[in-house]
A and B are shown apart, each in its own frame.
Chain A
Amino acid sequence: DAGVIQSPRHEVTEMGQEVTLRCKPISGHDYLFWYRQTMMRGLELLIYFNNNVPIDDSGMPEDRFSAKMPNASFSTLKIQPSEPRDSAVYFCASSFAGQMNTEAFFGQGTRLTVV
């Protein structure tokens, strides 16, 4: 498996524009996590899904952020409208809830810059 795949790797957009980040989890994994990382706040969980259903979205900053998981192999994180303070690296991770308490595997992230 190629691991967790995120796209794009880099995104530069103007304030007010809509931004969509994409994630393909590892095949067979049933948990998917979206994190945001900034220098000031470190790694923060935004939302996570189990079997395509959102379990905890308390980390989503505000209504401008939305996340979907239409099927087991794809998830999106959308910001509309984007603001400069949304500039960060966004990571997606997936894991499998098997018999053991298994680890999460992270993608390489999307570096978002809003100007």
Chain B
Amino acid sequence: DAKTTQPPSMDCAEGRAANLPCNHSTISGNEYVYWYRQIHSQGPQYIIHGLKNNETNEMASLIITEDRKSSTLILPHATLRDTAVYYCIVRVYGQNFVFGPGTRLSVLP
């Protein structure tokens, strides 16, 4: 079973920041937080991951709370092509990736 809780859906206006929350209250010290997204009928695409520090790459930023029980994925300037299902996953090194239902993000023009 997935160890994360995400809202089932969210809307965001094009050009605005999309902030996607994830709760992982039972996360253990050696579990990383990963974010993937899946655009309709394509394979899941890696976005970003982190352990306890905030992370940023060319796609997004990941903000992890100090107690590590929740995190937020930030897409700074959402475009229509960011419409997808976003998955938050916690994973220990060497284990598999367990996907929950994710958040369906709709970017609106």
Contact = CB atoms under 8 A, between A and B. Distances in A.
Contact of B49 (A44, A89, A101): A101
Interface string B84-106: 00010001011011111110000
Contacts of A97: 93-94
B21 interface: no
Contacts of A104: 46, 97
Interface in A92-115: 93, 97, 101, 103-109
Interface residues of A, number: 23
B16 to A, nearest CB: 27
B94 A109 contact: no
B98 to A, nearest CB: 7
Interface of A, secondary structure class, is: strand
Interface of B, secondary structure class, is: loop
B24 to A, nearest CB: 15
Contact of A101 (B44, B93, B96): B93
Contacts of B34: 103
Contacts, number: 47
A45 B100 contact: no
A45 B97 contact: yes
A45 B98 contact: yes
Given A44-B99, A109-B41, 7 more contacts: A43-B44, A48-B96, A93-B43, A101-B32, A103-B49, A106-B45, A108-B43
Of all A-B residue pairs in the complex, the 7 with the closest CB atoms, nearest first, are A106-B43, A43-B99, A103-B46, A101-B32, A101-B93, A106-B44, A45-B96
27 contacts: A4-B43, A31-B94, A33-B97, A35-B99, A43-B99, A44-B99, A45-B96, A45-B97, A48-B96, A56-B96, A89-B41, A91-B43, A93-B44, A93-B97, A97-B93, A97-B94, A101-B91, A101-B93, A103-B49, A104-B46, A105-B46, A106-B45, A107-B43, A108-B42, A108-B43, A109-B42, A109-B43
Interface of A: 4, 31, 33, 35, 42-45, 48, 50, 56, 89, 91, 93, 97, 101, 103-109
